[in-house]
Structures are given as C-alpha cells and as structure tokens.
Amino acid sequence: MEKRRLGSTDLEVPLITLGGNVYGWTLSEADTFYQLDRAMEAGLHFIDTADMYSRWAPGHVGGESETILGKWFAKSGKRKDVILATKVGVDMGEGRQGLKAKYIAEAVEDSLKRLQTDYIDLYQAHIDDKETPLEETLGAFDKLVKAGKVRFIGASNYVGARLTEALEISKKDNLACYVSLQPHYNLVQRQPFENDLLPVVEKYKVGVIPYFALAAGFLTGKYRSKEDTNNKARGGMVGKYLNDKGLAVIAALDEVAKELASTPARVALAWLIAQPGVTSAIASATDEKQFDELVEATKLKLDAEVIKRLNDVSTPITA
C-alpha cells in the first residue's frame, strides 16, 4: 500500500488512517479485534483515537476506544506494527480537560495504561486551549518526548495563527514541535483549511490528517433526505449538508463513481487524499463493506479533470 511521510518525521503512513472513534461505540470489542486484524493484513497500520472516545455515548465515561485497543495489543502482540495516535485535551469530566502541563502529565499516564503500551507514536492536542500558554503546553509535550513516552506531537482543531505561533515557539525555545495537524476537511467542509491552514502547513512542512473525511458518512451517499438521518448514530451531524449545495456534491460523486466503476465514498476519499498538503485521511468503518471501501480508496487515482469537476461543484461550502 502506498505510504507518505508524515511531515518532517520518519513515520511513513498509509493514505488512509483508521479512525478509532467507533471502537466500543458503534463497533463491539469482538468486531473491533476482527477489524484490526484485517487492517494489519491490508496495510492500514496507522490508527487514530483519543482519550475521550466515546464519552458522548450513553453510559460511557471516555477511554473506551483506548481500552479496546490496549486489549487488542495485548492479545495480538502487534503493538510495534502499529503507528498509534491518540489525543488529549477534550473534557473527560471532573475538571479533567485542557492542555496545562500538570494535566497532560496525568492524562498521558492514563492513556498509556488503557492502551497497554509504554509509548505513543503521535500524541496530539485535541483542541487548542487558549487559557494555557503555548509555552507551557509545548514544554509538557517536550518532556514526554524526552522521556520516551511520546515519539512525536501533533495538533488538532487549531487555527492558522495559533498553529504558527506554536511552531515558532518550538523553534525559538528548542522544544518538541507539532509535526501534524488534524483539521476538519472534506468535500463539503473545505474552509477554513484551504484558506487559513494550508499556507501554514506548507510553509512549516506539517503533515495533515483530516478527520470527518467522509463528512460523518454524508459523502457515502447514504443520507439524501431528512428521513435518511432518522435513528442513525451520526444522523444529527449530517443535517447541515442536506441542502442544494450538499446534494449537488453527492450528485457529482454519483456521476464520477459511475464513470470509474467505483463508489461515492471511494471517490470522496480519493479526492481528499489528492489535495495539496494532505498526508492521510482519517476514516472509520463499522462493517466489512465499509472497511473494504477504505482499502479500495487508497488504490483509486483521480485525474485532473475529475478533481476540477469536484472542486467546482463543492466551492464554497462552509458549515
């Protein structure tokens, strides 16, 4: 499977990053184990999770995804075969949130314990904490890198100015620097990445691993009316796309998919993978068919004419 170097690191990652948000939420532990086994066989060895996954689900407290991954590592013995990414900073309850040094030091230990590992390949600030000085956050991450508990650090949900400031502080103070960025970016969510963040990641050679690559499933084509969103785990997330613009994108994906004997999901992922600055697209799967779509998307190459058609129909869509 084709790989790309993640920013300035020596990590070579596949074109699709396997999203771990579904582990323990819409995918059972047994099915997660099965998917992870298949992922190793297919070459999808870059897995992204977070400490708070899946705290939003009824009865969950956060840490469910990391815990299941840890059990799979213990059972399979394949920890060293995986490039493991997780995140810190989003509310875990009882005041456990943010990017203060003390909290990062505590949170990483909790994640390591759940994951049953002694190191994390990519530890990411899940969301910018504007109440904590960037110097404090980066200093805390730097200590983890020096201690060998974290190999590299990344940012998620930062705006261009704050990302630039963080990168400059790391350079000035000789601290570990963000090597990757997780932005919300896909065919129906092209801003602010293209206007605000792309110039920054290109200037500083930061790897980009967009989340919601399929717009919470909207770009697969399965949501075409309000009725389609009823009783679906992510139905509430896609309502904002059910407008003339969003449906025009779906129509274009249908057209291209038919021409290429492919599917809307594969085409949408291939478009994202082909965008300037993008290293690997994060997408999750909850059954074998969806997993196969992710694998096949890495093999689909879109020509310039197709990319232009998709660009034209999707510009600009903001949400």
How far apart (Å, rounded) are the C-alpha atoms in residues 6 and 161?
21
What is d(CA 238, CA 179) in angstroms, rounded to the nearest whole number? 30
Count of CB atoms within 10 A of residue 155's CB?
24
Q: Give the CA distances from residue 90 to residues 9, 68, 112, 138, 209, in Å, rounded to whole numbers and listed in that order.
A: 26, 19, 17, 17, 18
What tokens appear for 303 in the block? 């020509």
Pair type for strands 281-283 and 16-19: parallel
Which position among 23, 34, 53, 123 bears the catalytic label? 53
Asked if 97 contacts 68 with a C-beta cutoff of 8 angstroms, the reply is no
Which of these, 269, 299, 307, 301, lies nearest to 285 by C-alpha position? 269
Quick check: is 53 catalytic? yes
Provide CB contacts within 8 A for 297, sequence distance 6+. 15, 16, 265, 266, 269, 270, 273, 283
Q: Could you list the active site residues? A: 53
